[in-house]
């Protein structure tokens, strides 16, 4: 069987030795952050198909205004559009033998449980990131090098090759753009931005003190939050790889494959307001034990979930996510 065996040291035998430390040292785990910004909808009922729908309501068709004394109040209506996501099964497992469990000095079950929980967190962050990246709104520095102006496109791509670090001028321009598009704030009056620490580095260095915009001992409301500037709160993440410009054919968050932008001076960043990505769990992630086989000698542990992720508003006019992007 594939999995963890007593016979092979690297697959389980090392879990026992004459003098074995009680402390388990795991490989470094990246910080996963995207899923925390998803809106969890009411759990979809069982036996209701693999689609989850929600309604997007537009403004009234005709703006109201002054009335003439002799004219009736005008009548108008509104339009409703519908979006949906597809539900999928998610999971992973690690089999192990009864012999390994009996002989190991460390708790095999707790080790596998911990590793599978890390794996599940990563899987859902990949799914959430994929929906963020589906936004139709993209910005890049004007002409590729402007430090104060950005060019907006609304077709899920940009024709501009980004050739400058993310700076305070870009943040101001993006913040103004979002406000003037009436993108609702995520919390209070604030938007959020999520990216890598090095994508923020030049921007952070240019501020005398990023925390001058936050309360002393700030009550950070999101994991990975670093500070606030121009009504935008900045969150660092280190799991989803860098790059993946419009022309990339190798970028793949599922395998951790990065593909740096051509000039390697920046990388993606997502600025967003409220109601960004919807998650509709039917069966939230859970740890499951395999029914023992071979008379109890063959065992295993899995994580399993049935859920789905979808961009809440995929029409450009109502999109909530603005992606700092590059054509190449």
The pLDDT, as a whole number, for residue 14 is 55
Query: Rounded distance, CA 82 to CA 57, Å?
Result: 9
Q: Identify whether 207 is part of a domain.
A: yes
Q: Read off the pLDDT of each residue in 82-91 and give the average, rounded to a whole number.
A: 93
Reference 253, options 165, 154, 137, 125; nearest CA is 125
Confidence of residue 216 (pLDDT cuts 50, 70, 90): very low
Question: Does 22 reside within a domain?
Answer: no
Q: Is residue 236 part of a domain?
A: yes
Convert 102-114 to b/e letters by CB count within 10 Å (16 or more is b).
eebeeebeebbee
**pLDDT at residue number 7:** 67
Tell how strand 51-60 and strand 78-86 pair up: antiparallel
Residue 35 lies in a domain: yes
In a domain, 14, yes or no: no
Give me the pLDDT at residue 77, please: 93
Q: What is the pLDDT of residue 29?
A: 72
**Confidence (pLDDT) at 141:** 98
Question: What would the pLDDT profile of 186-215 be if each residue is shown by its tens digit?
Answer: 988 999 999 999 999 988 887 655 555 555
Angle (CA) 84-120-224 rounded to 5° is 90
Total tally of structural domains belonging to the chain: 1
pTM of structure: 0.87
Domain span including residue 206 = 29-59+78-328
Report residue 251's pLDDT band, with 50, 70 and 90 as the boundaries. very high
Which residues, including other chains, have CB under 8 Å from residue 16's CB and lie 6 or more apart?
103, 104, 105, 106
Instruction: Examine residue 161 and state whether it is found in any structural domain, yes or no.
Output: yes
Q: Name the band, by pLDDT with cuts 50, 70 and 90, for residue 219.
A: low
- For position 23, what pLDDT does the model report? 59
The answer as to whether 90 is a domain residue is yes
Segment 260-313, tens digit of pLDDT: 999 899 999 999 999 999 999 999 999 999 999 999 999 999 999 999 999 999
Question: Does some domain include residue 221?
Answer: yes
- The pLDDT assigned to 13 comes to 60
109-137 tens-digit pLDDT:
889 889 999 999 999 999 999 999 999 99
Quick one: pLDDT at residue 206? 77
């Amino acid at each position: 069987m594939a999995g963890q065996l007593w016979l092979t040291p690297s697959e389980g035998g090392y879990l026992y030795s004459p003098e074995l430390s009680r402390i388990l040292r795991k490989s470094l785990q990246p910080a996963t952050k995207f899923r925390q910004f998803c809106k969890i909808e009411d759990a979809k009922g069982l036996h209701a198909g693999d689609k989850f729908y929600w309604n997007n309501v537009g403004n009234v068709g005709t703006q109201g205004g002054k009335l003439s004394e002799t004219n009736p109040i005008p009548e108008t209506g509104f339009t409703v559009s519908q979006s949906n996501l597809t539900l999928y099964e998610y999971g992973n497992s690690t089999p192990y033998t009864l012999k390994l469990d009996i002989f190991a000095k460390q708790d095999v079950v707790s080790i596998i449980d911990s590793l599978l929980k890390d794996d599940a967190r990563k899987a859902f962050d990949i799914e959430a990131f994929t929906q963020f990246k589906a936004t139709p709104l993209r910005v890049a520095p004007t002409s590729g090098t402007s430090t104060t102006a950005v060019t907006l496109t609304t077709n899920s791509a940009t024709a501009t090759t980004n050739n400058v670090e993310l700076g305070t001028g870009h943040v101001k321009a993006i913040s103004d753009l979002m406000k003037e598009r009436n993108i609702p704030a995520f919390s209070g009056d604030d938007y959020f931005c999520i990216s890598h620490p090095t994508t923020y580095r030049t921007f952070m260095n240019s501020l005398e003190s990023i925390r001058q915009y936050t309360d002393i001992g700030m009550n950070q409301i999101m994991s990975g939050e670093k500070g606030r500037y121009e009504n935008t709160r900045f969150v660092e993440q280190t799991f989803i790889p860098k790059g993946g410009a419009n022309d990339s054919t190798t970028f793949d968050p599922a395998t951790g494959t990065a593909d740096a932008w051509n000039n390697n001076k920046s990388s993606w960043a997502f600025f967003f307001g409220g109601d960004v990505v919807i998650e509709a769990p039917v069966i939230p992630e859970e740890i499951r034990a395999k029914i023992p086989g071979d008379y109890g000698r063959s065992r295993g542990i899995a994580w399993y979930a049935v859920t789905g992720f979808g961009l809440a508003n995929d029409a450009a006019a109502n999109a909530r996510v603005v992606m700092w992007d590059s054509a190449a």
